[in-house]
Structure 1
Amino acid sequence: MTKRHVSLPADAEATRRAFVSDVDERLSVAETPDELADAVTETLVDLHGARDAYEAWLDDDADVSPTAAARLANFDPRNATLESEYYAEKDEDAFARSKPLQWLWRQFDGTPLADNVEFALSFRRMLADHLFADVGEGVRLFKGISMTYGHNIELGDDVVVHDDVHLDDRGELVVGDRASVSDGAHVYTHDHDVVDQTEVTNYRTEIGDDARVTQGALVRAGVRVGENALVGSRSVVQGDVPDHHIAVGSPAESVRVKPGWESVAAPLSDAGERNQDQRRLDDDLPADLDAYDEFGRDLSPPDA
């Protein structure tokens, strides 16, 4: 099925261009994390139409309830915490810049503009330029995408990521040209030890050119979904999917090669190899880390 061209009315298109350009300029001139946080705060204040209330609150000119104060303070990413902020192995310098940008992404998706496809796609594409490690041309990023940091994500040209997808980049995530990740899919780059869930290993996860990860699928950390491969709906991919293969099920298994690619595809017997160790990433924890075990359990197995 082909698609048709859709365009906004001329006035709305001019507004879209001005809006995206204005926010892009605010972010581009910010040289430090604090300046970036200021730019995000100002953008969110304007986006929510709260300029008068926000400035009155800053100047203590208004009798503001605790609930209203919480709403106004929440425009500033420095007043927020994200789950990924607690991860000990994160790159502190990179996260200092990605946190305000990720906060802007999440808060934008909670506004009515996020449902205006033409506005939202162009806004997220602009924001991805500031947030991701690399992003190609023609990328389309739909509503409700979540990520760990953002700064460990690489997207090729014409990648499509649909609604409510989770892109975990606690490790490294690379998505090739023209690949697509469908609604509700989860792609992971980190794994937890089966005995001690606080022990985390990070990996590089790869989705090849022209690959498709379809609705609700889960791709485990360290997996490679090959070029032109397809992962079926609701599948759980624990091993590599070779180029041109179709993998379905939980755990996913290659069931066939795409018609017409048989001569260049690996045999089905070669599918499902676990190559995590080849894509394992080493973490350098800071020497002065004040680490803690949030569970404090005795994890000594009786048969150790």
Structure 2
Amino acid sequence: MTKRHVSLPDDAEATLRGFVSAVDDRLAAASDPDELADAVTETLVDLHGARDAYESWQNDDAASPVEAARFANFDPRNATLESEYYAEKDEGAFARSKPLQWLWRQFDNTPLADNVAFALRFRRMLAGHLFADVGEGVRLFKGISMTYGHNIELGDNVVVHDDVHLDDRGELVIGDRASVSDAAHVYTHDHDLVDQTEVTNFRTEIGADARVTQGALVRAGVRVGENAVVGSRAVVQADVPDHHVAVGMPAKSVRVKPGWESVADPVEADHERRQDERRLDSEMPEDLDAFDEFQRDLTPPDA
């Protein structure tokens, strides 16, 4: 199926460019996390059309508890994210990425998020501030979630569709022209089999021109090869070779893409699991006050 170019009316296009440029400049001018949080707060106030009511609240005018909670929620400093609890995170990087991720999430709750032409350009601009690296022509659709954002690298012309989860507790790299379809999950961390509070982080890679299709799950430390395809709802636990098609639970290579046989490994080759090569070492703070949400005795009876 081919696509065609779609354009907004001239007035709407001018409005879009003006808004995205203004937010881009505001975020770029923020020199520290507090200034960035202020920029995000102001942007969300305007996105929700709450300027007059918000300023009245700021001036100590009366507001109901519900209104006060809504106004306070514009400020990322008044919010917590699940990733905030992760002890091994880079605190300096997270201090900057948290406000940006809050803007990402809250933008998707506004009507503008459904205006595809507007939303794609807004997210591409925001990704330039949030991600470790982002190429040209990237298209990022609605409902994408991430752990931090600052450990994600996207090449040129990458497409990530609706409701995809990009876990970057470790490192996630997606190559040029790769696509990740709706509701796929790509992971960079794994839990110990006995003690699920013990986490190991990995580098996960999706190669150039690869496709991870609808509802698939890519495990931490896996490499999906260049020009490879992961079938719908597949669970990828080992590397997918370049130019191969992998399907199933767990995913296994079933064929080479037609026309690529001469440059691809044969399907019956022994494709090793190379997760350990992409393991990332993490150091915990010396003064860590560890939080165990389960409070269980994990001593096996046969230990």
Q: Which aligned segments of 4 or more residues in structure 1 are displaced greater than 3 angstroms?
A: none
Structure 1 residue 26: deviation in Å?
Answer: 0.6
Structure 1 pair 33–162 and aligned structure 2 pair: CA distance change class (3 A): same
1:72 alignment partner AA: F
Structure 1 pair 159–139 and aligned structure 2 pair: CA distance change class (3 A): same
Whether the aligned pair in 2 keeps the contact of 1:237 and 1:252 (CA below 8 Å) is yes
CA distance in 2, matches of 1:239, 1:79: 40
Structure 1 residue 168: deviation in Å?
Answer: 0.2
Paired residues for 1:50-89 under 5 Å: 50-61=50-61, 63-89=62-88
CA-atom RMSD in angstroms:
0.7
CA distance in 2, matches of 1:235, 1:293: 32
1:259 alignment partner AA: P
Match of 1:155 in 2: 154
1:143 alignment partner AA: K
CA distance in 2, matches of 1:114, 1:272: 42
The Cα offsets for residues 27-72 of structure 1, whole Å up to 9 and x where unpaired, read as: 00000000000000000001111111111111112x2111111100
Question: Could you say what secondary structure the match of 2:27 adopts?
Answer: helix
CA distance in 1, matches of 2:119, 2:246: 32
Match of 2:237 in 1: 238
Question: Could you say what secondary structure the match of 2:172 adopts?
Answer: strand
After TM superposition, the score normalised by the length of structure 1 is 0.99
Task: Name which of structure 1's ranges 265-274 and 247-256 shifts more when overlaid on structure 2.
Answer: 265-274
Match of 1:170 in 2: 169
CA distance in 1, matches of 2:59, 2:196: 46
CA distance in 1, matches of 2:54, 2:270: 57
Structure 1 residue 293: deviation in Å?
Answer: 1.4
2:13 alignment partner AA: E
How many residue pairs were aligned? 303
Whether the aligned pair in 2 keeps the contact of 1:245 and 1:257 (CA below 8 Å) is yes
CA distance in 2, matches of 1:184, 1:194: 25
Structure 1 residue 292: deviation in Å?
Answer: 2.3
Match of 1:36 in 2: 36
Paired residues for 1:93-104 under 5 Å: 93-104=92-103
Match of 1:16 in 2: 16
Question: Could you say what secondary structure the match of 2:261 adopts?
Answer: coil
Match of 1:189 in 2: 188
Structure 1 residue 216: deviation in Å?
Answer: 0.3
Match of 2:135 in 1: 136
Structure 1 residue 298: deviation in Å?
Answer: 0.5
1:40 alignment partner AA: V
CA distance in 2, matches of 1:243, 1:87: 34
Match of 1:49 in 2: 49
Task: Name which of structure 1's ranges 214-223 and 45-54 shifts more when overlaid on structure 2.
Answer: 45-54
CA distance in 1, matches of 2:196, 2:167: 17
Match of 1:275 in 2: 274
2:48 alignment partner AA: H
CA distance in 1, matches of 2:206, 2:239: 10
The Cα offsets for residues 159-199 of structure 1, whole Å up to 9 and x where unpaired, read as: 00000000000000000000000000000000001111100
Structure 1 residue 267: deviation in Å?
Answer: 1.4
2:152 alignment partner AA: I
Identity rate, percent:
84
2:187 alignment partner AA: Y
Whether the aligned pair in 2 keeps the contact of 1:143 and 1:163 (CA below 8 Å) is yes
CA distance in 2, matches of 1:10, 1:236: 45
Question: Could you say what secondary structure the match of 1:269 adopts?
Answer: coil
Task: Name which of structure 1's ranges 272-281 and 175-184 shifts more when overlaid on structure 2.
Answer: 272-281
CA distance in 2, matches of 1:292, 1:118: 43
Question: Could you say what secondary structure the match of 1:270 adopts?
Answer: coil
1:114 alignment partner AA: A
Structure 1 residue 272: deviation in Å?
Answer: 4.7
Structure 1 residue 270: deviation in Å?
Answer: 3.0
CA distance in 2, matches of 1:49, 1:110: 13
CA distance in 1, matches of 2:255, 2:32: 51
Whether the aligned pair in 2 keeps the contact of 1:223 and 1:276 (CA below 8 Å) is yes
Match of 1:26 in 2: 26
Question: Could you say what secondary structure the match of 1:210 adopts?
Answer: coil
CA distance in 2, matches of 1:64, 1:188: 42
CA distance in 2, matches of 1:188, 1:146: 12
The Cα offsets for residues 198-243 of structure 1, whole Å up to 9 and x where unpaired, read as: 0000000000000000000000000000000000000000000000
